[in-house]
Amino acid sequence: MSVTPRQTGTVLDEIIAGVLTDLRGRQELVEEAGLREAAELIDPPLDPQRALRADGLSVIAEVKRASPSKGHLAEIRDPSVLAGNYQAGGATAISVLTEARRFNGSLADLDAVRAGVGIPVLRKDFIVTEYQVLEARAHGADLVLLIVAALDDAELETLYRLIRRLGMTALVEVHNAEEARRAAHLGASVIGVNARNLKTLDVDTGIFAELLPQLPEQTVKIAESGILTLDDALAAHRAGADAILVGEALVRSGDPAAFIASIREATSS
Catalogue the active-site residues.
62, 64, 124, 173, 194, 224-225
Q: What's the one-letter identity of residue 51?
A: A
Cα separation, 114 vs 63, in Å, equals 12
171: closest CA among 154, 152, 188? 188
CA distances from 136 to 68, 107, 121, 179, 200 (A): 22, 8, 10, 24, 27
Cα separation, 76 vs 74, in Å, equals 6
Cα separation, 185 vs 3, in Å, equals 21
Cα separation, 218 vs 36, in Å, equals 32
How deeply is 44 buried, as exposed, middle or buried, from its count of CB atoms within 10 A (0-12, 13-18, 19+)? exposed
Q: Are β-strands 66-67 and 71-72 bridged in parallel, bridged antiparallel, or unpaired?
A: antiparallel
∠ Cα 153 195 9 (to 5°) = 60
Cα separation, 170 vs 144, in Å, equals 5
Q: 93 forms bridges with which residues in the sheet?
A: 60
Q: What's the one-letter identity of residue 60?
A: I
Q: 172 forms bridges with which residues in the sheet?
A: 146, 191
